[in-house]
Amino acid sequence: MDGFAVRSESTNEALLTRPVTLTYGSQAEYVDTGDPLPDWANGVIQIENVEALDVDGNLATDKRNPASIRIREAIAPWKHVRAMGEDMVATQLVLPAGHTLRPIDLGAIAGSGHYEIKVSKRPRVAVLPTGTELKPIGEPVERGDIIEYNSVVLAGQINSWGGTATRYPITVDVFEAIKATVAEAVKEHDLVLLNAGSSAGSEDYSADVVQQLGTLLVHGVAVRPGHPVILGMLDADERQVPIVGVPGYPVSAALTGEIFVKPMLDQWLGRFPESQETIEATLTRKTMSPGGDDDYVRVVVGEVGDKTLAAPIARGAGVVSSLVRADGIVVFPSGTQGAEAGANVNVRLYRTREQIANTIFCIGSHDMTLDLLAQFLAQRGVRFVSSHVGSLGGLISLRRGEAHIAGSHLLDPETGIYNESYVQRYLPDTPVQIVPFVEREQGLIVPKGNPKGITSLADLQRDDLHFSNRQRGAGTRVLLDYHLDKLGIEADNISGYEDEEYTHLSVAAAVASGRADCGLGITAAATALELEFIPLFSERYEFIVPDAHTDKVAPLLELITNNNFNDQVNALGGYVRI
Amino acid sequence: MDGFAVRSESTNEALLTRPVTLTYGSQAEYVDTGDPLPDWANGVIQIENVEALDVDGNLATDKRNPASIRIREAIAPWKHVRAMGEDMVATQLVLPAGHTLRPIDLGAIAGSGHYEIKVSKRPRVAVLPTGTELKPIGEPVERGDIIEYNSVVLAGQINSWGGTATRYPITVDVFEAIKATVAEAVKEHDLVLLNAGSSAGSEDYSADVVQQLGTLLVHGVAVRPGHPVILGMLDADERQVPIVGVPGYPVSAALTGEIFVKPMLDQWLGRFPESQETIEATLTRKTMSPGGDDDYVRVVVGEVGDKTLAAPIARGAGVVSSLVRADGIVVFPSGTQGAEAGANVNVRLYRTREQIANTIFCIGSHDMTLDLLAQFLAQRGVRFVSSHVGSLGGLISLRRGEAHIAGSHLLDPETGIYNESYVQRYLPDTPVQIVPFVEREQGLIVPKGNPKGITSLADLQRDDLHFSNRQRGAGTRVLLDYHLDKLGIEADNISGYEDEEYTHLSVAAAVASGRADCGLGITAAATALELEFIPLFSERYEFIVPDAHTDKVAPLLELITNNNFNDQVNALGGYVRI
């Protein structure tokens, strides 16, 4: 406290009505908060409770440098004094070893008089991308080129885990070149990551390189995705330097980092591995797993009502977006065969529980505006996760309590009204609100210039055409089947009717890549991939919101009334806000 | 898949018993995993399922470059082919704005063909420590000096929150000097933190400086600890630069960072503030709170049995170790008066729930070996948190289910046996194990050279001596009272009998600082502070472990049988492992 240092004994007699006067200098001395107490003093009386007097006994102008002070209360010994050792005392443990220092810890260390402490050295890790087909980020790519980004992901992981990564330039698939790069890298690093070239393909030299430069310990692990991981030790003068052959597929590469590289860094840094946050969740879909492997299944996690759900997402080892979208990982250990829908699983979370709780889970029909919604909601601190299973699939998910909201455009052929009859049929016991959102064009997506001269659904029967269809239950599929029926066209007569894609953009991508000559979809998908669009029908895309989730979905319902948002919807093309 | 690109149609007739032969070059072409498909092909047949033939129709030596291939199964179109757009399609949202990029996100961005993206600029923050009494870390300190470490904590916070901190040298408490430093800092920074000098003491120029260089907006906030926070805007040529006057007390300074600085950085970085993980817990102690302030109370959080407990820790704004030890914060908002013991409170966590779950909660008597236990257990991935409330307090906490284990050295004067009778009396219904740990010396702690010639407890009655006592319920206090009684010494005759300290080290610190002439305590405390020790009694320090927590405490029970650990216990001095 700011005030006067005194001896408690000299204040004993002071009363409100019978003040005591203390001589400044010998009996009282001004101190600021934080100042040390003079040796002779054993208490502080706050400046507010003191009358500071000048030599004549009048109130002093400089209250902090008076001739004497008059006090009207006694103070106990050590009043307003912080004892030495209140915070820390010599030899006391400030922080245990193996602790990762936070900013406040630096304060405690410095504050307890330490200005040098021993910390673990950051392990130096070389990241070596190899592959003749690889192109550095930013260079023009041609057909067959692959953009090299695994080294960016691995280096990012290493730096975030306390290591120091060195990204090497791409080495071409030439045995001697790879060997030379590894031999060079091992000199200045504590760990070498050799990316790609670890499967059994024609350009896979990793295992041989490890064998020539040291000892190959492991070739192939029972982990999926990630199988062709290589583990070995390289001889480097006096040292033995571990090497990890990291598979080329991006998901395998990133998971190899998590599963094999991080524990090494933890060990070297003397850090007990942070246990990842886990959450118990209900699996939404039957998930098969090869019994021989530890299977790392990426899932999206949502809290719907009082249930926590884990929905498996695309499993391809090449689908990097599956890791970006993943909220967590479910591991089906070797010896198990996966799990049934409804099973309880443990999810290792990539996000906090708060982020999970703060998520709107949308399921059903795919529409391009859903990305816009995600974008705008993120700025409002709300995560928007959408899963595309078709309109009907969305209604069924709502019935099962597996989503907060569904997007749907299901035409009732008898009434010409969208969604209502389907909602009555599939959600008879669930009070819901049908929220009109957009009217959009459906039509045929064809390559630029429409080289095959397609004009109507009747053309789909042509022998020289291959069609790309949507999956059963998709509103677009319902629409197609309805019109085919009306036109008397047999599905069997359409080449490609069985090729099912799950989104408008996938259909457009099939057309863009030449896999299909046309597909049925929305304007925005054709526009996105610079394809041509032959409009056929206009339809309503609406949101189905169970009353139980109105509060959860409120930010979305508010957003779709926002002018700025609706301007951007219109800018996508082919949409009318309804 | 590694294999041969083919057209599905050309494989249609193939059967195990009736193979089809395809000409290499025109009908089949070797591809590695990840290679693009030739234009004419629409599927891949795995190399394992192919007989590669040379020109003579024999098995080719180079399986990857044969004259023809023989196949014995048909493949469906697009078999083993990954479609373009499987992962990401043009215009699709890869990541919403305002997202903090993780390593895997960089992969998704690069993989989707972006090599430049717009990111938020790191805000530049100047951290200005001021105060004539401050000494930089590492310089010799004298009485009255304060080691300046707030700037280290603030800079660490800023860097970890996405800003770039500049730590300025210490500015002395001279108005013009502070003003000049602020005026300089404002030129190159987006935010200025002016540390200390924000209370109303004699050297507090912050508010005046802000007023002269811009606009003072706020002087003092209803937040505890943190009260004298200053908020203002500085004029800097074309720009307006915010300034925060950060209080000098380390806990106030760190919390001011969290409460006032982080939200600004979030806003500038376009990042929706991460909501902190929270946990519901039961308050272990009645906690009073001044109704006019938002009161930030640091707590230790433990899971004991099926209860989650929040135990408030030291509240002094100067006690930096309170933030280091804190597992979280409970905020009692302005207008509330705190809460009773047993109340449900929400804790904002500084650690993960997993770390909390992985914690042994020890309560009761203080002993120096507890720090060693914490150190060794940390290396085994177990957090050990000890709270010092005295032996009796420990037993009572065990009864209330508020700890996993208690340290106790309660002598039964009638039997001379430690702890047993107390356990029977205070934990009649709780099955426990009494685990012998150490025998240790208790004695009088006096300054080096024993200037007052103290030799026994009888000396405590001397007028020229001031004693430092332990709190009621401490085993050491029980021991003292037992022996005073035996010697017929009245507590009233001992000056300082009422001065209660909570740990052996605090008693030693009282002696070291001259606040007391002696205290009763253990050898190790005297050794730690280089004081003299007059041994009087030997006593048993034991652990009380309820059977319900045996599993939880297992790592500790295992550790105390570890030779390496016991060697270090012996090295502390005054201990015998029993």
Q: What is the CA radius of gyration of chain B?
A: 35
Q: A204 to chain B nearest CA, in Å? A: 10
Distance between A482 CA and the closest CA of chain B, angstroms: 27
A311, β-bridge pairs: A300
B 437-496: CB under 8 A from A: none
Reply yes or no on whether the pLDDT at A231 is more than 60. Answer: yes
Angle at the Cα of B27 from the Cα atoms of B23 and B31, rounded to 5 degrees = 105
- Evaluate if residue A549 carries a pLDDT over 60: yes
B49 vs B79: CA distance, rounded Å: 13
- Separation between Cα atoms, residue B521 and residue B263, nearest integer Å: 47
CATH of the domain spanning B284-357: 2.40.340.10
Is B146 in contact with A34 (Cβ distance < 8 A)? yes
Tell me the pLDDT tens digit for each residue of A468-524: 999 887 888 888 998 999 899 999 999 999 888 878 888 998 898 888 999 999 888
Gap between the Cα atoms of B44 and B81, Å rounded: 7
The predicted pLDDT at position B321 comes to 79
Q: With an 8 Å Cβ cutoff, are A509 and B278 in contact? A: no
Average pLDDT, integer, range A37-65: 86
A517-548 b/e (C-beta count within 10 Å ≥ 16 → b): bbbbbbbbbbbbbebbbbebeebbbbbbbbee
Report how far apart, in Å, the C-alpha atoms of B345 and of each of A256, B278, B309, B330, B333 are: 41, 10, 9, 7, 12
Is A230:A211 a contact under the CB 8 Å cutoff? no
Encode chain B (578 residues) as per-residue pLDDT tens digits: 778 999 888 888 888 888 999 999 889 998 877 677 787 888 889 888 889 999 888 888 888 889 999 999 888 776 777 665 555 666 677 888 888 899 999 998 998 888 899 999 999 999 999 988 889 998 988 877 888 999 999 999 999 999 999 999 999 988 999 999 999 999 999 999 999 765 555 557 888 999 999 999 999 898 888 788 999 999 988 899 999 999 888 889 999 999 999 999 999 998 877 767 889 999 988 888 877 889 999 999 989 988 999 988 866 666 777 888 899 999 999 988 889 988 999 999 988 888 888 899 998 888 888 888 998 998 888 999 888 778 888 999 899 888 999 999 898 888 888 999 999 999 999 999 999 999 888 899 999 999 999 999 999 999 999 999 998 878 888 889 989 998 999 999 999 998 888 788 889 988 988 889 999 998 888 887 889 999 998 889 999 999 999 999 999 999 999 999 999 888 877 788 88
A395 with A427: CB under 8 angstroms? yes
Query: Does residue B509 sit at the A interface (CB-CB below 8 Å)?
Result: yes
Q: Which of residues 78-107 of B touch A (CB under 8 A)?
A: 78, 82-99, 102-107
Q: What is the mean pLDDT of residues A119-131?
A: 95
How many cross-chain Cβ pairs, A to B, lie less than 8 Å apart? 301
Give the closest residue to B432 by CA, choosing from B347, B528, B548, B533.
Answer: B548
Spell out the domain ranges in chain A: 3-71, 124-268, 280-357, 360-578
With CB atoms and an 8 Å threshold, state whether A89 touches B316: no
Residues in A 276-295 with any Cβ partner in B closer than 8 A: 276-278
Report pLDDT for A90: 61
> How high is the pLDDT of residue B202?
53
Query: Residue-wise over A81-102: b if at least 16 C-beta within 10 A, else e?
Result: bbebbebbbebbebbbebbeeb
Amino acid at A415: T
The larger pLDDT score, comparing residue B557 to residue A388, is at: B557
Query: Cα-flanking dihedrals φ and ψ of residue B414, to 5°?
Result: -80, -40
Mention every residue, 6+ apart, whose C-beta is less than 8 A from residue B517: B446, B447, B452, B454, B464, B465, B466, B467, B511
Residue found by looking up tokens 């480097």 in the block:
A236
A-interface mutation test, from B84, B104, B346, most A Cβ less than 10 A away = B104
Q: How far apart are CA B105 and CA B174, in angstroms?
A: 49
Give the CATH number of domain A360-578.
3.40.190.290
**Which CATH topology does B124-268 take?**
Molybdenum Cofactor Biosythetic Enzyme; Chain A (3.40.980)
B574: left (phi over 0), alpha (psi -120 to 50) or beta: left
- CA gap A72, A13 in Å, rounded: 9
d(CA B315, CA B336): 17
The CATH number assigned to the domain with range B359-578 reads: 3.40.190.290
- Residues shown for chain B: 578
The Cα B344–Cα A156 span in angstroms is 41
B94, closest residue in chain A (CA to CA): A321
Using alpha carbons only, what angle is made at residue B346 by residues B340 and B347, rounded to the nearest 5 degrees?
105
- Contacting residues of B for A104, CB less than 8 Å apart: 153, 156, 254, 320, 323-324
Interatomic CA distance for residues A56 and A71, integer angstroms: 17
The answer to whether the beta carbons of residues B72 and A489 sit under 8 Å apart is no
Beta strand B68-71 with B146-148 is: unpaired
Between A90, A273, A318, which is nearest B87 by CB?
A318
Partner A, chain B 113-132, Cβ-Cβ below 8 Å: 113, 115-116
Q: How far is A426 from chain B (nearest CA, A)?
A: 31
User: Residue A424 burial (CB < 10 Å; 0-12/13-18/19+)?
Assistant: exposed
Contacts of A257 in chain B (CB under 8 A): 103
In 3D space, the residue among B102, B115, B109, B84 whose CA is nearest the CA of residue A320 turns out to be B109
- Beta carbons of B529 and A97 less than 8 Å apart: no
- Closest alpha carbon within chain B to A250: B107
A 335-364 → B contacts, CB under 8 A: 352-355, 358
* Residues in chain B within 8 Å Cβ distance of A78: 515
* Closest alpha carbon to A45 in A79, A10, A82: A79
pLDDT tens-place string over residues B361-409: 998 888 888 888 998 998 888 999 888 778 888 999 899 888 999 999 8
Q: Minimal Cα distance from B97: which residue of A?
A: A375
pLDDT at B421: 93
DSSP string for residues in B343-405: -EEEEEESS-HHHHHTEEEEEES--THHHHHHHHHHHTT-EEEEEE--HHHHHHHHHHT--SE
Q: What is the DSSP string of A268-333?
A: HTT-PPPPPPEEEEEESS-EE--TTSEEEEEEEEEEETTEEEEEE----TT-HHHHHH-SEEEEE-
Yes or no, beta carbons of A83 and B320 under 8 Å apart: no
Burial of residue B266, with CB atoms counted within 10 A of its CB: 0-12 exposed, 13-18 middle, 19 or more buried = middle
Sheet holding B50-53, edge to edge: B20-23, B68-71, B50-53
For A246, phi then psi, to 5°, come to -100, 130
Predicted local distance difference test score (pLDDT) of residue B90: 61
Q: How many CA atoms lie less than 13 Å away from B241 in the CB half-sphere?
A: 26
CATH number, domain A280-357, options 2.60.120.460, 3.40.30.10, 2.40.420.20, 2.40.340.10: 2.40.340.10
- Asked if B244 contacts B260 with a C-beta cutoff of 8 angstroms, the reply is yes
pLDDT given for residue B46 in this prediction: 87
- Token pair 């090449």 in the structure block, residue: A318
Does the beta-carbon distance from A104 to B154 stay under 8 Å? Answer: no
Inter-CA distances, B447 with A40, A549, B141, Å: 18, 70, 22
> Would you call B113 and A324 a contact, using CB atoms and an 8 Å cutoff?
no
The whole-number pLDDT of residue A91 equals 63
**Average pLDDT for residues A301-325, to the nearest whole number?**
83
Q: Is the pLDDT of residue A200 over 60?
A: no
The pair phi, psi for residue A132, each rounded to 5°, is -65, -30
Q: For residues B550 and B554, what is the distance between their CA atoms, to the nearest angstrom?
A: 6
Q: How far is CA B252 from CA A112, B257, B297, B318, B466, in A?
A: 18, 9, 12, 8, 34
Q: Are B452 and B496 in contact (CB under 8 A)?
A: no
Interatomic CA distance for residues B537 and B96, integer angstroms: 69
* pLDDT of amino acid B552: 94
d(CA A545, CA A406): 7
CB contact under 8 A, A379 and B64: no
The two three-digit tokens of residue A530, written as one number = 């610079």
Please return the burial class of A363, using the count of CB atoms within 10 Å of its CB with bins 0-12, 13-18 and 19+.
Answer: buried
Question: Between A93, A108, A319, which is nearest B371 by CB?
Answer: A93
Here the tokens at position A397 are 């998910």
Tokens 């996000």 -> residue = A351
